[in-house]
Amino acid sequence: MSGEPVPGGPGKGGTADGGSGGTAGGVENGSELSSLLRELAAAHETPAPVSGAEIRGRAVRRGCRRRATAAASGATGAAALALALTLAFTGAPDGRHGHGQHGHTAADRPAASTSATPSSPAAGRGVPVARVDLARRVLTVAGRTLPISSGAERTPTPTGRMTVIAKYEITVVPGTRTGSGTHGLKAPWVIELRAPGDRTGYILALTHDEKAPGARDRTGGWIGLRTRDAKWLYQRLAPGAAVEVEGSAPDAGRSADAGSAPASPAPGSPGPESP
């Protein structure tokens, strides 16, 4: 993949634009192609038409202040079966917008890095971090620990990087499509998440089963909290917050209705090990 031009480079003429002539044979040779492409790209470099300040202004005006947490990557350490949910709060609780898809086309983490990290992200920046460990079924937010319940076997909770796109004081949440025979659920304090691939996740108050959070994973794919916890979280989580969901539920390998509560649902205690 080296880019050194080879002898007998871009045929006759060989202008940056049109140097392709007489090189058909050489194109199958990668370096020849590289030098042609380089010339082409170089000929079409364009100075930035607007200032950097203008670019930043557009980003700000768009109002989607999604502050990804630097800590997201550190959340995995625990175990393969831990579901780490990292929530970043935006500063503004009033950020209202419904454009989940915008954020994700852009945020679908580019993987390749061709050079070393130029600088590390400014640590902290006053962003509170919340974390859900599904093996223990707890959500740690701003120093508080809340028990949670997630998707049962047939209705696993979606995973991946998500963004809070909307909040509802009360709404009907559709059943997940992954499960069979799912049904909707009317719930208060609903936080809607958009995941890559247009999947949707929900954090909500599990009013019909206040004892499930911390004890069992038996929701239709959403992340259920006790009602007062859900309300508390609802008030603190703003649209635009980034959410990282990983792993699978401890109960995911069991029947949805097994109802096998772990010995101790207390926050902080180790949860049941999955097979």
Q: Are the beta carbons of 66 and 107 closer than 8 angstroms?
A: yes
Beta-carbon neighbour count of residue 228 at 10 Å?
Answer: 12
The secondary element (H helix, E strand) that includes residue 114 is none
Q: How far apart are CA 262 and CA 185, in angstroms?
A: 25
126 binds another protein (CB under 8 A): no
Region from 13-21, 89-97, 138-146, 199-207 binding another protein, contact rule CB under 8 A: 13-21
- By beta-carbon proximity to another protein, the closer residue of 14 and 179 is 14
Contacts of another protein in 63-122 (CB under 8 A) = 64-70, 73, 103, 105-121
Contacts of another protein in 128-147 (CB under 8 A) = none
- By beta-carbon proximity to another protein, the closer residue of 13 and 93 is 13
Interstrand relation of 199-205 and 223-225 (parallel, antiparallel or unpaired): parallel
- By beta-carbon proximity to another protein, the closer residue of 21 and 184 is 21
11 binds another protein (CB under 8 A): yes
The amino acid at 252? A
Q: How many residues bind another protein (CB under 8 A)?
A: 73
- By beta-carbon proximity to another protein, the closer residue of 50 and 263 is 50
Residues in the chain: 275
The amino acid at 64? C
Q: Are the beta carbons of 140 and 214 closer than 8 angstroms?
A: no
Pair of tokens at residue 118: 């130029």
Q: Contact with another protein (CB under 8 A): which of 4, 6, 8, 37? A: 37
12 binds another protein (CB under 8 A): yes
- By beta-carbon proximity to another protein, the closer residue of 27 and 172 is 27
- By beta-carbon proximity to another protein, the closer residue of 23 and 155 is 23
Q: CB 191 → another protein: shortest distance, Å?
A: 20
Contacts of another protein in 229-258 (CB under 8 A) = 242
How many CA atoms lie within 13 Å of 233's alpha carbon, on the beta-carbon side?
Answer: 36
Q: Are the beta carbons of 133 and 84 closer than 8 angstroms?
A: yes
